[in-house]
């Protein structure tokens, strides 16, 4: 197995490429509206998961833990739909992607970084305003806000990539790179 340069594609690389480019579920993300729906569902499932996760710490009951478990499968499925729509843009290793995909991944990450920066700024202003007005103690908000922001920072590139993915030209068939 030879490739360009000194990079070798491992069995893991080939398997992940095949999984991320499997067109079996293409109907779920074939149009922009379906991709937006998948991203919106993922955002809602993530928000519910974060709320349930925070609830496990703040609630005396066990329902948040069960809710978190119930959300795991649909969240994973929505993640898979978005990864399929982007052909694994964020999941595949750098040496597996071509120059166009690397440039797209850089654009997606830059846009996600900007959005996350705005969300962080809004959170700082919101927590400071709540503390300044005496409505809420900043210490009370620290863990939930940090947890929510961490998850948004982690997933924002996936959401942006899912929204930025384009419709594929009709008749374009998937194939492994010739170097494999």
139-161: pLDDT as tens digits: 777 888 888 999 999 999 999 99
Phi-psi region of 13 (alpha: psi -120 to 50; beta: other; left: phi over 0): alpha
Total domain count for the chain? Answer: 1
**Residue 169, in any domain of the structure:** no
**Which residue's structure tokens are 């069995």?**
11
* CB neighbours of residue 102 within 10 Å: 13
**Residue 175, in any domain of the structure:** no
**Residue 3, in any domain of the structure:** no
Cα–Cα distance measured from residue 34 to residue 114, given in angstroms and rounded to the nearest whole number: 25
Helix axes 63-85, 32-58, angle to 10 degrees: 150
**Residue 125, in any domain of the structure:** yes
- pTM given for the model: 0.82
Domain span holding position 39 = 11-164
> How far apart, in Å, do the first and last CA atoms of the chain sit?
6
pLDDT-based confidence at residue 5 (cuts at 50, 70, 90): very low
**Residue 95, in any domain of the structure:** yes
């Amino acid at each position: 197995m030879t490739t360009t340069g000194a990079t070798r594609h491992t069995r893991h690389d080939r398997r992940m490429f095949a999984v991320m480019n499997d067109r079996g579920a293409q109907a779920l993300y074939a149009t922009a509206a379906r991709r937006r729906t998948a991203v919106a569902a993922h955002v809602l499932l993530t928000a519910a998961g974060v709320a349930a996760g925070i609830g496990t710490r703040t609630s005396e009951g066990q329902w948040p833990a069960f809710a978190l478990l119930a959300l795991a499968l649909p969240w994973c499925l929505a993640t898979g739909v978005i990864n399929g729509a982007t052909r694994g843009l964020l999941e595949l290793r750098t040496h597996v992607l071509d120059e166009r995909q690397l440039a797209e991944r850089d654009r997606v990450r830059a846009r996600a970084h900007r959005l996350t920066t705005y969300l962080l700024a809004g959170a700082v202003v919101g927590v400071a305003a709540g503390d300044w007005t005496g409505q809420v103690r900043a210490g009370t908000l620290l863990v939930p806000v940090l947890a929510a922001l961490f998850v948004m920072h982690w997933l924002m590139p996936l959401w942006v990539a899912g929204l930025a993915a384009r419709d594929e030209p009709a008749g374009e068939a998937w194939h492994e790179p010739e170097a494999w």
